[in-house]
């Protein structure tokens, strides 16, 4: 499938989706949001894809937000639809059964930060800036940012970031647990590969179980989360990969997982 505002490439099980509107700092207009939705659905159903990476084109921005020129033109009904569509894209990413890594190569603002927060893992270049600047435009986050930031950092940080609109550095984001790694810009691709590599080889059922138990468990009472963990653990134990992984450990050799 070809896209106007995305570049997609699969190499060695890693599917990289690059948002490609460099002249607008990769801002998410409606078309780009729709293309992202389609590209992610396609990747999720492709057995060759084991890990999805989302990044932005150029060295300045991951995504500088939703497209402000389009936001300006919306009436209340259109704004509600726009927010609901953006939220459903982010929720779809978060609930995928394949790991999604955000490679944050610069500004991740507004919808860009919301996109990064919906991913399972985040690697930032040291020049990245993350923020929710919507308040400066007289609006508020609408693609899940208030809710995901709140859940990741608690109210203190979420309120300050959303109310001030001021972006934070990659280093500060790391201190707050908002990103998993910070690396020099030139090292970003390698750092993402380092994280993705083992996931490409991991048992898919184990990856699915971990993603579901942790993502859904975060919003569940402990007992329900534990029950979900037990159910997923039992499914893992019915796989050939479990037989092979445990046998390889006992025989002191590298496992040859088949993804079954």
Q: Report, as residue numbers or ranges, the catalytic residues.
A: 114, 134
- Residue 146, helix vs strand vs coil: helix
User: Rounded to 5 degrees, what angle do the CA atoms 156, 161, 166 make?
Assistant: 145
Residue whose CB is less far from ligand COA, 137 or 157? 137
- Residue 135, helix vs strand vs coil: helix
- Work out how close the CB of 186 gets to ligand COA at its nearest, in angstroms, rounded to a whole number: 20
- Work out how close the CB of 133 gets to ligand COA at its nearest, in angstroms, rounded to a whole number: 4
CA distances from 257 to 202, 206, 233 (A): 7, 11, 17
Tokens of 71: 């936001």
Q: What DSSP string runs through 154-169? A: -HHHHHHHHHH---EE
Residue whose CB is less far from ligand COA, 148 or 232? 148
- Work out how close the CB of 212 gets to ligand COA at its nearest, in angstroms, rounded to a whole number: 31
Backbone angles phi, psi at 14, to 5 degrees: -100, 120
d(CA 120, CA 229): 18
Residue whose CB is less far from ligand COA, 133 or 204? 133
Residue whose CB is less far from ligand COA, 55 or 239? 55
List residues binding ligand COA (CB under 6 A). Answer: 24-25, 27, 64-69, 71, 107, 109-110, 133-134, 137
- Work out how close the CB of 99 gets to ligand COA at its nearest, in angstroms, rounded to a whole number: 26
With 0-12 CB in 10 A as exposed, 13-18 as middle and 19+ as buried, what is 44?
Answer: middle
Here the contacts of 242-250 (C-beta below 8 Å, separation 24 or greater) are 242/203, 245/203
- Work out how close the CB of 96 gets to ligand COA at its nearest, in angstroms, rounded to a whole number: 24
d(CA 104, CA 121): 11
For residue 211, the number of C-alpha atoms closer than 13 Å in the C-beta half-sphere is 23
Residue whose CB is less far from ligand COA, 60 or 208? 60
């Amino acid at each position: 499938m070809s896209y106007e505002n995305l570049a997609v490439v699969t190499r060695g099980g890693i599917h990289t989706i690059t948002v490609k509107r460099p002249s607008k700092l990769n801002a998410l207009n409606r078309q780009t949001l729709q293309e992202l939705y389609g590209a992610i659905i396609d990747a999720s159903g492709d057995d060759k894809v084991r890990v999805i990476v989302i990044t932005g084109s150029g060295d300045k921005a991951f995504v500088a937000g939703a497209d402000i020129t389009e936001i300006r033109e919306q009436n209340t009904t259109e704004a509600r639809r726009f927010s609901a569509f953006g939220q459903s894209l982010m929720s779809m990413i978060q609930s995928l059964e394949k790991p999604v890594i955000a490679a944050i190569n610069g500004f991740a603002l507004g919808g860009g930060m919301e996109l990064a927060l919906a991913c399972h893992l985040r690697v930032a270049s040291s020049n990245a800036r993350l923020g929710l600047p919507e308040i400066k435009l007289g609006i508020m986050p609408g693609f899940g940012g208030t809710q995901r930031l709140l859940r990741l950092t608690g109210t203190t940080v979420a309120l300050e970031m959303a109310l001030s609109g001021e972006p934070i550095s990659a280093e500060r984001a790391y201190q707050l647990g908002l990103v998993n790694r910070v690396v020099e810009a030139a090292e970003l691709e390698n750092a993402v590969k380092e994280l993705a590599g083992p996931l490409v080889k991991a048992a898919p059922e184990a990856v699915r179980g971990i993603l579901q138990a942790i993502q859904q468990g975060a919003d569940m009472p402990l007992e329900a989360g534990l029950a979900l963990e037990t159910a997923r653990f039992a499914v893992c134990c019915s796989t050939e990969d479990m037989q092979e992984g445990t046998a390889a450990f006992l025989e002191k050799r590298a496992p040859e997982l088949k993804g079954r």
